[in-house]
Structure formats: structure tokens, C-alpha cells
Amino acid sequence: MRIEDLVDAIRVMETELPADVERRLREALRRESGLSKMIMEAIIENIEYAKERHLPICQDTGILEFFVRCSEGHEVIREKITEAVKRATEEVPLRANTVNPFTRENEGRNLGRFHPIVHFEGVGKEPDVVEIDIIAKGAGSENVSASFMLDPTQGIEGIKDAVLHAVSKAGAKPCPPIVVGVGVGGSLERSAYFAKKALLRPLDHKNPDENLAKLEEELLERVNALEIGPMGFGGRTTAMGVLLEWGNCHTASLPVSVNIQCWALRRISLEWRESDFRILR
């Protein structure tokens, strides 16, 4: 695994949107009118200009989170990721975003205590393959994300209410058209992890569970019926997708987390087979 590959991947992630996201944004442009259409035109122009000039799409290049699957060598991989983030901050470049939460001091390299965020998720599909998914998450949308500890008897309706409440309260703040990641079950922090993890699934990949696929579709329709629209200017596109991830939980709990993602969904998936490196998008 070469550090250069990771730096290149971060550059691609920050300057070019995944094809499925760009396609949904172009569809949104065709659906909207008035001020919302003007906003969508600016978003599309921005995507094209950033790609052409290799510029970060948004000045908030986010907090970088890495989801790693590999059989061994965790500490070496963590060191390489740390070095890659430091270099990418210089070279892409990325905005220096990480600060001490108490003093607000910015150390300038997107590093510091427990940064970058790396989740080790066990072994990938084959033992000698290293898989890494990366997401760059801006604060505008992370700040309106939320967790709820529901009563088990609130059931599916409670889950739907939590999603609609979070999206409606967020309004224009997270830069709609948004993508909504929903994490159900686990524990408090596990549901939040599921909600972010859900954002890594491509928008045109259906949930493999048929009932959950239906729930995602229903939630997308109801979110769009809120008519918040692009940047809150009203219209038919509030969200481009609702994606759900889940795990079993305590019999007395129903944890639900909603991770709201801005239109600039910057994610990338990588794979190393010995020295062979591939970007999967």
C-alpha cells in the first residue's frame, strides 16, 4: 500500500464527485425551476469547474474518515493514512479543519488527537486484499445530524418520524439536495456509525433487504414531500437518496441515528492486491 495512492485518492475524492451523485444532481436540475433552478445551475457549474481545474469542490474539505478492511498490519496502515492526510492537506490542498475542542487551536495539518478517524472493520472479501473506503464530511451537514434513543414500542413509525424530524429541522443548513444516512439498532454510538457507513453505498445500489428497500423509498418520497428544495429555496428535490444500515440492539432500546450529507457527497473506495492498486467508485 503506497502513501502516494492514498494521496491521489483523496485528491480525486475532493475534486470530482462520484458518477451516481453527479447524475442525481443533473436530474435535480431538470426538475427544478426559479431560484432553485438557478442554485442547481451554480452547483453543476461548480462541479464542472472543480473537475476541470482539479480544485476542491467545496472549501470545507471536511473531516476525513477511513473505513478499513484488512487481515493484519493495522498500525502500519494507520501510520500510512496519517502521513497521506498530512501530505494531501499540503498538496490537494485541503483546508486545515481539525482543532482542539476546548482551546479551538488549529494544528494546521488535519491531524491531532485521534485524527484522522480510522475504523478497522475486520477482514475484507479476501484475506490478502486491503480495502479502504473514505468519506470527507463537512461540518454544515454533520452539525445537523442527530441520534435518538427511542422506546421500542415506537417501532418503524418512530424511526420514520426521527428521520423526517431531523431533515425538516435541518432545513437549508446542510446544503440540500442531501443524502440521508439512517442507522438503526446497535447501541448509541453504533447507530451513529451505521448512519455514516450507510452513506458509502452508491445511490443506485438497492438495499439488499426488500422490506428495507421499500422503507428507503418511502422515506425518500416523504423527505421530498417536505419541499425544502435546493439550498432551502423550495422545490421537488430535497434529497437524492435515503440509505439505511442496521444491526441488532438491546430488547429495551431502539437507537436511531440520522446522518445528513450535503449534495457534495465525497466518497471513494480503494483496493490493494499486493502492489496492484484500484480505485472503485
Partner 1 sequence: MEIYRLKTPLDEVTVRALNIGDVVYLSGKLFTMRDMAHLRALELLRKGDKLPFELKGEVIYHCGPLVRGKKVVSAGPTTSMRMERMEAELIRLTGVRGIVGKGRMGERTAEALKEFGAAYMEFPGGAGALAAKAIKEINKVYWKDLGDPEAVWEMEVENFGPCVVTMDSKGEILKRKENRH
140 makes contact with partner 1 (CB under 8 A): yes
119 makes contact with partner 1 (CB under 8 A): no
Radius of gyration of the chain (CA): 19
Pairwise CA distance, residues 57 & 68, whole Å = 25
DSSP run (H or E) holding 249 = strand 239-249
Sheet-wide strand order for 266-273: 117-120, 63-69, 129-137, 266-273, 276-280
Out of 179, 180, 199, 262, the only residue in the binding site for partner 1 (CB under 8 A) is 262
49 makes contact with partner 1 (CB under 8 A): yes
Pick from 231, 212, 86, 110: which is nearest to 170 by CA? 231
**Neighbouring-strand partners of residue 146:** 258
CB 29 within 8 A of CB 40: yes
42 makes contact with partner 1 (CB under 8 A): yes
Pairwise CA distance, residues 244 & 229, whole Å = 22
- Residue 82's SS3 state is helix
Stretch near partner 1 under the rule CB under 8 A, chosen from 44-52, 72-80, 111-119, 269-277: 44-52
Minimum distance between the CB of residue 271 and partner 1, rounded to whole angstroms? 28
Minimum distance between the CB of residue 87 and partner 1, rounded to whole angstroms? 14
63 makes contact with partner 1 (CB under 8 A): no
Pairwise CA distance, residues 241 & 199, whole Å = 9
**Grid cell listed for 18:** 462520484
Binding-site size for partner 1 (CB under 8 A) equals 52
212 makes contact with partner 1 (CB under 8 A): no
Out of 21, 43, 192, 254, the only residue in the binding site for partner 1 (CB under 8 A) is 43
Minimum distance between the CB of residue 71 and partner 1, rounded to whole angstroms? 37
Q: Which is closer to partner 1, CB of 1 or CB of 264?
A: 264
Q: Which residues bind partner 1 (CB under 8 A)?
A: 35, 38-39, 42-43, 45-46, 49-50, 53, 55-61, 93-97, 99, 104-106, 108, 138-140, 143, 161, 164-165, 167-169, 171-173, 175, 226-229, 231-234, 262-264
